[in-house]
Amino acid sequence: MTLLLMWTTYAVFGVIVYSAVFLWAVRTRQFSSEERARSLPLECPEEALEAAPAAGAGWRVMAVPTALLLLAGMVIGGLLVCVYMR
């Protein structure tokens, strides 16, 4: 029963986290430039470097998903400790 509860909690939490990440991607229009993404493998590396943002500008974009991942790990770890210490 404990194993079933643990995996059910893990699955529900995963669905919530991945739904939040998907909604974040839709709200920030991550999927809006499909035509550009389709031609990226065919671009010359020099053109790709010119179109890249300035160095260090993207750390804020990765801060939110990284923080969510850390929070999810802490919550799952806490749940596992609670379940196994029973």
Give the total number of structural domains in the chain: 1
Q: How do residues 32-45 score in pLDDT, each as one tens digit?
A: 777 777 776 776 66
**Structure tokens that stand for 74 in this block:** 């802490």
pTM of whole model > 0.75?
no
Domain that holds residue 48: 2-84
Where do runs of H (alpha helix) occur along the chain? 2-27, 34-39, 45-51, 59-84
pLDDT by residue (tens digit) across 44-75? 666 555 555 555 556 677 788 888 999 999 99
Tell me: the pLDDT tens digits for 8-40?
888 999 999 999 999 988 888 877 777 777 776
pLDDT value of residue 38: 72
| Size (the chain), residues | 86
